[in-house]
Amino acid sequence: MRLRFLAAMLVLASLGIFNCGEQSTTPGDDTPRALSAAEEQVVDAYNAFGLSLFREIVAGEKPDNVFISPLSVSMALGMTANGAAGLTLEAMLNTLEFSGLEMQEVNESYRGLIDLLGGLDPETEFSIANSIWYRENYIFREEFLNTCRQYFDAVVRELDFGGEGAVDTINAWVEDKTNGKIEDILQGPIDPLVVMYLINAIYFLGTWTYEFDPALTTPADFHLPDGSTASCNMMQRPGEEEESAFLYYSDEEVQAVDLPYGAGWYSMTILLPQSAMGIDSFISGLTEDDWDAYTAGLEETQGRVYLPRFQLEYELLMNDVLISMGMGIAFDPMRADFSGMREQGDLFISRVIHKSYVDVNEEGTEAAAATVVEMKETAVDSFVMRMDRPFVFAIREKHSGTILFIGKVLNPGQGS
């Protein structure tokens, strides 16, 4: 059970910062409580959703770095799902891999995970924050807001979205909860049809249990998928003594190593495909069963690890990815059902914005992510017709249908 939970942390925290396998360090005596059956099922769902989301993003992105927090995306959408109903709720739960679970079970497991992760390792900083911001003078169901407060610790605020400081207020909250690493996730002004933002923010700061010696960091070539090379600063650490040996796994397809943080409850697990030319193919075939096999196979082994020092910032509008994963109805103004949020139910998800940051160096790792779910009100006018180009117009008598005048306008300023 412990292995299941620790392995899940890789996908949950961002496919880079997590607990995994039996640690080469021994965590403190305060072992976390056992997971309930429902929580185990939800952890499996997190893993499946995180890997699916990662595969989908990599398949659609240009050859470039990718860094996401599936946990952040899942929590922001999990809050949102509490306001969904009917087919919209079904689609959201299926996409989040929660099919077969009642919303109450999902909420309780989110609650349990927030409590569990909050104080898991006193030597590592990890925080989760959620908030809901809604347009001034709009009324939402109190049951929905209270559910988000109870299970997600969500801060709920009414805000004048038309005010000059609205975007700054929301951005400042995100920046504060990510220790300044996620800035300007929203750009103003706020669209008049936007009525709510549901936001998750995650922050992680961990020092390696066994740090990399900066004196051993040297310039090196990094081999790119197209066969060319780029320069990087390559860190290295030997695991020559028994107490500092690595948790390591290898087969014909992949090498895997686990690098612990702090007291050992969090770690970075790295998967290195044996072929440098096939990273996207490897990711496209990476399943939850594969992941479980790699992490379960980690064993204490003496060796040497070379890891480039790197810093990434990543941003993605996730609409297309989530739609392709089966959540399209939630983005459809005509079909979305969010009657659980307010009585009219005339809301839909207009954008899901994700931003992340990671800095990996000799001392450890700092990472942050934020996810914004933007809710819009379905426009009373179902279309916009802006006559800012040539048009035809007619004057007619409606009873008989007789056209009295007809003309075209090429330049409304001409002849005036």
Cβ(330)–Cβ(336) below 8 Å: yes
For residue 333, the model assigns a pLDDT of 92
Q: Please name every residue paired with 374 in a beta bridge, in sequence order, or none if there are none.
A: 197, 351
For residue 147, the model assigns a pLDDT of 98
Q: Where are the beta strands (DSSP E) in 361-413?
A: 364-377, 391-397, 402-409
Cβ(150)–Cβ(177) below 8 Å: no
Q: Report the range of poorest mean pLDDT among 113-122, 178-187, 298-307.
A: 113-122
For residue 30, the model assigns a pLDDT of 63
Assess if residue 291 is contained within a domain.
no
The predicted model scores a pTM of 0.86
Assess if residue 410 is contained within a domain.
no
Structural domain count of the chain? 1
Assess if residue 59 is contained within a domain.
yes
Q: Report the range of poorest mean pLDDT among 202-206, 218-222, 227-231, 380-384.
A: 380-384
Assess if residue 168 is contained within a domain.
yes
Assess if residue 238 is contained within a domain.
no
Q: Report the range of poorest mean pLDDT among 205-214, 237-246, 379-388.
A: 379-388
HSE (CB half, 13 Å, CA atoms) of 377? 18
- Averaged pLDDT, 379-405: 66
Give me the chain's average pLDDT, please.
85
Assess if residue 49 is contained within a domain.
yes
pLDDT at 256 over 50: yes
pLDDT at 309 over 50: yes
Percent of the chain past pLDDT 90, that is, above it, reads 54
For residue 264, the model assigns a pLDDT of 86
Classify burial at 111, counting beta carbons within 10 Å of its beta carbon; exposed 0-12, middle 13-18, buried 19 or more.
middle
Assess if residue 282 is contained within a domain.
no
Residue 1's pLDDT band (cuts 50, 70, 90): very low
Q: How far apart are CA 156 and CA 142, in angstroms?
A: 11
Instruction: Domain of residue 34: give its range.
Output: 2-208+310-377
- Averaged pLDDT, 335-358: 92
Q: Which two tokens stand for residue 391?
A: 């048009």
Q: Which two tokens stand for residue 59?
A: 């398949």
Assess if residue 203 is contained within a domain.
yes
Q: Please name every residue paired with 196 in a beta bridge, in sequence order, or none if there are none.
A: 134, 375
CATH code for the domain in which residue 334 is found: 3.30.497.10
Q: How far apart are CA 70 and CA 323, in angstroms?
A: 16
Q: How far apart are CA 97 and CA 344, in angstroms?
A: 28
Q: Which two tokens stand for residue 193?
A: 């049809």
Q: Supply the angle between the helices 70-81 and 2-13 in degrees, to the nearest 10.
A: 90
